[in-house]
Structure 1
Amino acid sequence: MTLAARLMRALTDPDCAPDHGRPDMAQVSDEELGDLLVAAHDVNAPATHAMRTARFAIGEAVGERQPRYTPDACRRMFEVLAARCEERGWADLTLGLDALEHCTGPRPDVSEPARALVGFWLEKDTVRQPYTLLAVAGLAGDGTLRAAVERLSDDVGPIVADEMAVIARLTPAEQTLLSAIDRDDRFESPLAHAWHGAADIPEYAAFARRALEAAADRTDAIRAGEIPYRADKAFTDREVTSLGQALRVALLRDEPWLPELFERLLPGVALAPTAARTLPSQALLYEVVRAAQSFPTPELATAIRTVRRTVRHAGVPRQLDKMLKKIDAALAERTEVALRLPRLDFDDEGVLRRPAGDHRAVVTVTEIATLTWEKDGRPLRGVPAAVRRDHTALVKELRDLVKRVNAQLATLLRALEGGFVLDTTHPYGRWRTELADHPLARTLVRRLIWEIEVAPDEWRTVLPETDEHLPEAPDDTPIRLWHPLRSDPETVRTWRNLLTERRIRQPFKQAFREIYLLTPAEERTRVHSNRFAAHLVHYRRMFALFRARGWTSRLLGPWDDGDGDEAERTLAAGEWRVRFHHTWSDRAGDDELASTGRVRFDRRVDGAWREAPLSDVPPLVFSEAMRDVDLFVGVTSIAADPDWTDGGPERAYWERAGFGELNESAVTRRDALERLLPRLKIADRCTLDGRFLLVRGDLRTYKIHLLSANILMEPDDSYLCIVPAGHRRGDPKLYLPFEDDRLSLILSKAFLLAADADITDESILTQIKRGA
């Protein structure tokens, strides 16, 4: 008996004994899977163990590949859905449309069960999946479709009525496409590919503009007093959801009319026309922000920040702050629009000047934006008292401007760095005007190394900061960020030497960027890597890093199903996915620990994820993903915690890993130190020795580990615990070619210990003198 037959028997025969072991669903064809899925939804009897096992295996397989359906299976799927509605009060109508879309033969006549499904839903008080319901109604005939449009347009507002009429006129294929973005509530959002299908329907895109402009017209009328103001009643619940759909489509299409609309709509939904602290539509404001999290643009992010500063409701700004963090992270992934920065009245050198009585404000963009004050051309240390007294609004406006510019620059950097895994190229003309010569972006972009394709597959490398004139090239010439993985070691060394000699600090690691190549051990394990397994980490810190780097993961803890999870991140425009397994371990006082596990990669095939051999992963995707995992482990490992004093197996790990072999980040750190040490005033007291920086003090000699920054003291390798304040970010006294808190920490400890005779901290002196 075939596996498909055994699974079918398990679903239909209550006396069937379950198979032992996990079914190999690769033995089941796509068409057999369609038959099984119909049968799995047709089970009405109490589920046996064999049924549950079969349904789980079928559900897993459907998540990985697309079932196909015979005409008979399509008809039976509709009949099963109609029966489920009668028996249980609900059924997922998209299953019927999916069956028809992937039918292996002539489409069967499903008008009778479709009519029953629509009739059932139209009798209910609340209609779920309205787009899907219209598509099903179209299968039942024109009369049923007209009845569905009338019912779905009743008492939900003119915007939704327009939407229902538009969808009813679409082709069945277009209606099926739209059903993929059907949402039961506004808090869930379908996958990006579903929105792309909706955005490609011209009639729906035209509706999106009409709907959003009608929403702005309504808020204008509320402000003008033409419509009575009622808090949170400007739009019906269904209108809020429909406007969210429309906005996502318009944002995905990057419609040019959107920025002007934001200037009307955002204040219109966020500010009451009276002095009230309520909002015309808090629901629509939050729905706009959720849409921006799906498909952000710089203009919408700026508009939301502007509204955040003016909204009167006490709780809304705090909620917007949380949501804006997700918008910034999402904008970094949407490279095609993230590079679009406004000039904001800055001159070509990145300076903005504003008069304030006898004083003048100066906002300057270098590594970051800073606000200073001057009088008669002389810089002042702080905000003059007269300015604080007489120009309060200007001070607040400029401080907010500095915050906004810094947020935009941070987003730009995330977008540029995120382009590595996409191997993103830009047209040279646009790159020059919108990046290299842009008053805000230029200071960051010019300190990065770029490659211009001067001939097919021939790239010329340029560092604008050191080149007086940018090279001449046609506007459509591709330009991309240089990555050390694409270069030979000698070229990488040359760039690192140049940066160090010119004291150029890159806005993110590029020349000194770690690269991760497939190891022989990973070739043997084939589909998983143990490179970062078996580490103990501070769990909450790692969980925060997941969020900051765009990974998703469930929060773990000592509760049911809280023991383990795989953090995930999609890469290369959604074509690849990396998974990092980790397990909640234990509590250590007030801290929570986790242990790390394997790293795996999946490739998207026919819309579903399939596990891929590591050797199939593109080298840049592999390297950048492993770099993230290395960061998670390196930063949060308890081995890098100088205060760790707990005993047991955790202490054994701390002692082993805290002074163990170097990872790629530490190897890069050592390379940077080789170039930096000769330029330091303590150079004669420092030596690199394998995994350590040796520092000769007057009292003792110290070994600082290049991965953990932990310290051993010669001659007995006793441990020295120091918890230093470290150097401030951007400290001009300490040049670093890139931002690295651990490198800065190591150097701060080196400076302290080189002058150990001057140390006055008794907690440190006691440890040094104990074995000196």
Structure 2
Amino acid sequence: MTGPGTPVERVSPVPKVSRADALSGTDFGRLVQAIDAEMAAACEDEYGYRYQFRPSDSESYKEVMKDREKAADLARFLFKNRRQIIAPVRGRQYDWDKSLWRGFAIFTGLMRSALPLGAEEILSWLTALKRDCDAGGEGRGGRHIRLNEWPVGFMVQAVERAGKKEPLSENALEGLRELLTWKEMTRDNYYGTDFAKVRTRVEYLIGAAAGAKTEVLPYRKLSGDHFGETLETELNALPPDEAAKWHRVFNLASGASGSKPTKKYLDHARELKDDLGKDWVRSHVQNWMSHALTAGTVEVRRAQTFEDQEYVWSENTVFTRSNVVLLKGLVWICQGFQDARTINLVADLCEKSMTKVPGVGSAAQATANACLWYLEVTPGAEATARLSRLSTAIKQKTVQKKVAEIVARKADAAGITTIQLAERVVPTYGLTMGEKSVAFDDYTLSLRIEGPGKITQTWFRPDGSVQKTAPKFVSAKTSLKDRLSRIKAEAATIKKVLTSQRDRIDRLFAEDVEWPLDEVEAHYVGHDLLCRISERLIWDLQTGSTRTGAIWRDGVWQDVTGAKVNTADDTTARLWHPIDRDTDRVMAWRIRLAELEIVQPTKQAFREVYHVTDAERSTRIYSNRMAAHMLRQHQMATLMAARGWRYRLMGAYDDGVDDQWATKDFVTSDLTAEYLLHTNWDEDNWNDAGIYLYVGTDQLRFSRGTDRVPLEEVPPRLLSETLREADLFVGVASVGNDPAWADQGPTPEARNYWQSYSFGELDGFAETRREVLQAVLPRLRIRDVAHIEGRFLIVDGRLNTYKIHLGSSNVLMAPGDRYLCIVPGRVTTAGQVALPFEGDTRLSVILSKAMMLADDDKIEAPDIVSQPKR
């Protein structure tokens, strides 16, 4: 920047003056030393990086700030002596004298304050800094301070403050125009000054001086992803007055920093909502969030400057960094909005933000954290219900932990347990005992819950007859069309809620919760949404010393014979568990449920049970029942996270580990379950990110604090459920389940394990499948060509005889037990086979393979047909 009267400091060789010499002999030098020492003493971190030093920790700094003229002179002193006090040419960042960081902190603090400094003076400083950085220098290894390390943004704000007191001169405006020509203005730096924000503010100042009518800084950081480009397109089509409202919201939202909003931020948000209108802000933020929920993954070019070198690369992303912050701020602005649509949009955005992007991680972790904050501070059952759903919908353990902490705080505030809170906030969505009717003029759309994830939608004509599709007039009338869209969206939400509630109830089997009967009737069998799940479960009712298994049917409790169960005011209820009953009673309930054609939402009557074995009595404090298996680590980790286990992926990197205890705590017990996993250093056992592909299983044990608990002292239900989960991890994640893995194992040992697991002894889940197949096989069309023999379902096809393993579902052909590879994608569904419970996809695969192989002469897939002919 040049011009008449413009104070320009020319760059001269760095004087051979030490920092100590520069500070000695002057009042300001001694003041800087005092502030320096007080900041150093207040910093608890021995390393003391720049951002950890705060001038506000210094009493000397506070004192000088009482005299703004003196503070301005201190800023002038620091800048004049910057090459000795703040920014001498230096070597590696890590070797830099920490006193220089403190010098930076003092200067930055002064630039943030309203000091009597002129616009041209500050701009001359910026010009001098730019020349310093461009010129480089000597000494201390020959590396200079980069421009983005200086508080350029605060200095431009100081220019703006000066311009409010006195119109900017032509020299000042010329200096601002010069700033826009700097190459740094287009760079995305790894840290330091956000030059995009600086550029926007400079353009605003120039425009305001030229008489532009805008009173709002334009927000220009939307582009770069689908979400931002959609908003940018809508924004560009708006008239100036309406666009200015968008810019105001975006400018506030883009300033969101920290883990939660400050009082000052929320005050600004409240003022903005009052000014623009709460309904306007609410509807627009809802619209913007809706766009975020539909955003897809894009490949973006990244360019950042570090150590004066620009680095360019490409990566996948859903939201740019700036849009992650923007969404975070928009969520914070929603504080105080308690309507169902806002709550559900924020919760959906939380799920969207935790979507995994390959090679990157979560799509927007900071936005997800903001969503959790909003759901915590928003009162009412709706927000808590969505938190409960997030605990199962999101698998990342960090988010699960935060959700658990938030729910615990809400429960404490209400004076109830987390289990009670979770069951009391389940929404009904206007249903009446699982059903709902919506009028469309004279036609009616009926919604009926059939089970978790299944809702039937039926249209009825005015005369009560059924119509297969929606009436044509619905799509022709905007109000009816919108109503139908809302109903469909609500039905989709109900499906998700039912699935999460089923999973919540399934986890209660391990907790062994006991309820007063009236709570079960209010919050479960009598709940308008949960009734469709709860009425299909068996409940253990206890009155005095009498215990009776019962189901809720036709408005009364019935025992296994169908007789009414009499209850009293003191009757309690628990979830019935087969480990508490003898085999005859379990079989009686299985028969009763089959007679009633009840499909249980989760395994109960057919639930696997695990008693302490003689081998476990011998080992005493640990079980080897689930040891020596080879599992896919990522799949296992996902399963663990969904069931409340804490586990961190193991990798072949500097701080990786070779062994790890996966752990799980319980709400109603002080015990902790621990499952040992280990890996090896086989060179084919990790992916590009250095994460092990496979891990081995070892012992499982229980602890109370630091004490190991003998297995026989663990409550039978808790022990059984924990071993069942470990069995599930093995049963789902074992490489032995993969039909294509037979010849792909990285080592001979791994291939031997595959052969052993694929066709070896049955685990608890496979034993249950055998029992179910024995019950349903006589009702299937393949009953004359199929039978169970040991651990296999034998199928006599027209070309060959096949043996389907009841554990892995892998297939052998007779004669000679030749392996037949059939991947599940080649198998059709099992048709209308009535199974006694939902959720066992392996059983469906076994039945589908059996039906296909029974007609093996009709198989057309070449990769399957060629194998029996060998």
Do they fold alike, i.e. is TM over 0.5? yes
Matched to 1:447, the amino acid is R
> Are 2:423 and 1:336 equivalent residues in the alignment?
no
User: Which amino acid is the alignment partner of residue 597 of structure 1?
Assistant: D
**What is the CA deviation profile of residues 35-93 of structure 1, one whole-angstrom value per residue up to 9, with x for unaligned ones?**
xxxxxxxxxxxxxxxxxxxxxxxxxxxxxxxxxxxxxxxxxxxxxxxx999596259xx
Render the CA deviation track for 1:571-602: whole Å, top value 9, x for unaligned: 24361211222234454697922222221211
Q: Which amino acid aligns with 2:637?
A: F
2:715 matches 1:631: no
- The separation in 1 between residues aligned to 2:502 and 2:446, in whole angstroms, is 24
- The match for 1:685 is 785
DSSP-derived class of the 2:391 partner: helix
Distance 1:301 1:408, change over 3 A: farther
Q: Distance in 2 between matches of 1:289 and 1:123?
A: 39
Deviation at 1:515, TM superposition (A): 1.0
Which SS does the other structure have where 2:695 is aligned? strand
3-state SS, counterpart of residue 474 of structure 1: coil
Is contact 2:459-2:469 (8 Å) kept? no
> Are 1:269 and 1:280, in contact at CA under 8 Å, matched by a contact in 2?
no
| Mapping for residues 20-35 of structure 1, pairs under 5 Å | none
1:387 and 2:479 equivalent?
A: no
Task: Please give the alpha-carbon distance, in whole angstroms, between the structure 2 residues aligned to 1:275 and 1:706.
Answer: 50
Change (3 A) 1:443 1:272: closer
Q: CA deviation at 1:491?
A: 0.8
Structure 1 position 757 matched with structure 2 position 861? no
Note if 1:513 corresponds to 2:607.
yes
Which of 345, 354, 370 aligns to 2:430? It is 345
Q: How does 1:244-263 map to 2 (within 5 A)?
A: none
Structure 2 distance, partners of 1:566, 1:433, is 40
How many residue pairs match? The answer is 534
- Shift of residue 429 of structure 1? 1.5
Alpha-carbon contact 2:804-2:846 (below 8 Å) kept? yes
- How many angstroms apart in 1 are the aligned matches of 2:339 and 2:665? 24
Q: TM-score when scaled to structure 2?
A: 0.54
Among 464, 481, 486, the alignment partner of 2:552 is 464
Query: In the alignment, is residue 595 of structure 1 matched against residue 689 of structure 2?
Result: no
Residue 688 of structure 1: SS of its match in structure 2?
A: strand
Q: SS state of the match for residue 654, structure 1?
A: helix
Q: Give yes or no for contact 1:328–1:411 (8 Å, CA) kept in 2.
A: yes
Q: Secondary structure at the match of 1:339?
A: helix
Alignment of 1:261-280 (within 5 A): none
The answer to whether the 8 Å contact 1:353/1:360 transfers is yes
- 2:744 match: 646
Task: Provide closer, same or farther for how the CA distance between residues 384 and 238 of structure 1 changes in structure 2, counting only shifts above 3 A.
Answer: same
For residue 681 of structure 1, give the secondary structure of its aligned residue in structure 2. coil
**Percent sequence identity over aligned pairs:** 30
Q: Which runs of 5+ in 2 are unaligned?
A: 1-37, 47-54, 63-112, 114-244, 266-276, 292-322, 354-362, 373-386, 394-399, 408-417, 559-564
In the alignment, the residues of structure 2 paired with residue 751 and residue 610 of structure 1 have an alpha-carbon distance, to the nearest angstrom, of 52
Deviation, structure 1 residue 533:
1.5
Q: 1:553 to 1:441 in 2, by over 3 A?
A: same
1:527 CA drift (Å): 2.4
Letter of the structure 1 residue corresponding to residue 736 of structure 2: A
1:531 lines up with 2:612 in the alignment: no
Deviation at 1:512, TM superposition (A): 0.6
Paired residue for 2:755? Answer: 655
**Alpha-carbon distance in structure 2 between the residues aligned to 1:385 and 1:729:** 33
SS at match of 1:421: helix
Counterpart contact for 1:532–1:630, Cα < 8 Å: yes
Q: Distance in 2 between matches of 1:500 and 1:639?
A: 32
**1:236-385 alignment to 2 at 5 Å?**
240=261, 304-307=343-346, 326-328=390-392, 334-340=418-424, 341-348=426-433, 350-357=434-441, 359-367=443-451, 368-370=453-455, 372-376=457-461, 377-383=464-470
2:602 touches 2:837 (CA, 8 Å); kept in 1?
no
Kindly report which structure 2 residues correspond to 1:48-197, keeping only aligned pairs within 5 A, or say none. Answer: 86=41, 89-90=44-45
Counterpart position of 1:769 = 869
1:613 aligns with 2:710: yes
Label 1:465 to 1:654 Cα distance change in 2 as closer, same or farther (>3 A).
farther
Aligned to 1:231: 252
Alignment check: 8 A CA contact 1:272 1:280 kept: no
Helix, strand or coil: the match of 1:419? helix
* Cα deviation, residue 389, structure 1: 4.8
1:425 matched to which residue of 2? 514
Distance 1:496 1:289, change over 3 A: farther
Contact 1:703 1:713 in 2 (8 A): yes
Deviation at residue 303 of structure 1 after TM alignment? 6.1
After alignment, is 438-447 or 728-737 more displaced?
728-737
Q: Aligned ranges for residues 727-742 of structure 1 at < 5 Å?
A: 732-742=832-842
CA deviation profile, 1:402-457 (whole Å, cap 9, x unmatched): 1222222223222322222221122212221332122221111111101111213x
Alignment CA distance shift 1:752-1:241 (3 Å): farther
Amino acid in structure 2 at the alignment position of 1:327: S
Other-structure match for 1:550: 644
Equivalent residue number for residue 149 of structure 1: none
Correspondent of 1:569 among 658, 664, 675: 664
* 1:547 to 1:266, Cα distance in 2 relative to 1, 3 A: farther
Matched residue SS, 1:594: strand
Question: For each residue in 1:527-570, what CA deviation from the matched residue of structure 2 results, as whole angstroms up to 9, or x when unmatched?
Answer: 22221112112222112111222212112222223343222211
Larger CA deviation: 670-679 vs 397-406: 397-406
Q: Is the 8 A contact 1:527 1:600 kept in 2?
A: yes
Kept in 2: contact 1:359–1:387 (CA 8 A): no
* Separation (CA, whole Å) in 2 of partners of 1:243 and 1:622: 51
2 CA distance for matches of 1:283 and 1:440? Answer: 32
- The structure-2 alpha-carbon separation of the partners of 1:404 and 1:122, relative to structure 1 and needing over 3 Å to count, comes to farther
Q: Per-residue displacement from partner, 1:694-744 (whole Å, max 9, x unpaired)? A: 111222211111111111111211111112348888964443434211111
Alignment partner of 1:479 out of 564, 573, 586: 573
| Aligned equivalent of 2:820, options 706, 720, 745 | 720
3-state SS of the aligned residue for 1:683? coil
TM-score w.r.t. length of structure 1 = 0.60
8 Å Cα contact 2:324/2:367 also seen in 1 = no
Once residues 429 and 280 of structure 2 are traced to their aligned partners in structure 1, the CA distance between those partners, rounded to angstroms, is 20
Task: Tell me which of 429, 437, 441 is aligned to 2:526.
Answer: 437
Partners of 1:343 and 1:730 lie apart in 2 by 33
After TM superposition, the structure 1 stretch with the greater mean CA deviation from structure 2, 704-713 or 389-398, is 389-398
Distance across 1 between alignment mates of 2:485 and 2:833: 31
- Alignment CA distance shift 1:538-1:671 (3 Å): same
Query: Is residue 2:806 matched to residue 1:706?
Result: yes
Query: Within 1, Cα distance between the matches of 2:257 and 2:39?
Result: 30
Task: Give CA deviations for 1:246-281 in whole Å, capped at 9, x if unaligned.
Answer: xxxxxxxxxxxxxxxxxx999989965998999999
Distance 1:730 1:467 in 2: 34
CA contact (8 A) 2:829 2:845 kept: no
In structure 1, runs of 5+ residues without a counterpart are: 1-82, 92-118, 127-154, 156-224, 245-263, 291-298
Contact map agreement 2:458 2:467 (CA 8 A) in 1: yes
Q: Which residue matches 1:581?
A: 676
- Render the CA deviation track for 1:460-503: whole Å, top value 9, x for unaligned: 11122488656442344211110011111111111122223433
315-324 or 666-675, which moves further after superposition?
Answer: 315-324
8 Å Cα contact 2:42-2:57 kept in structure 1: no
Q: Give the secondary-structure state (helix, strand or coil) at the position aligned to 2:761.
A: coil
State the 1:239 CA deviation. Answer: 7.0
Aligned equivalents of 2:44 and 2:768: distance in 1? 61
Distance 1:730 1:696 in 2: 18
Q: Compare 555-564 and 679-688 and name the one that shifted more.
A: 555-564
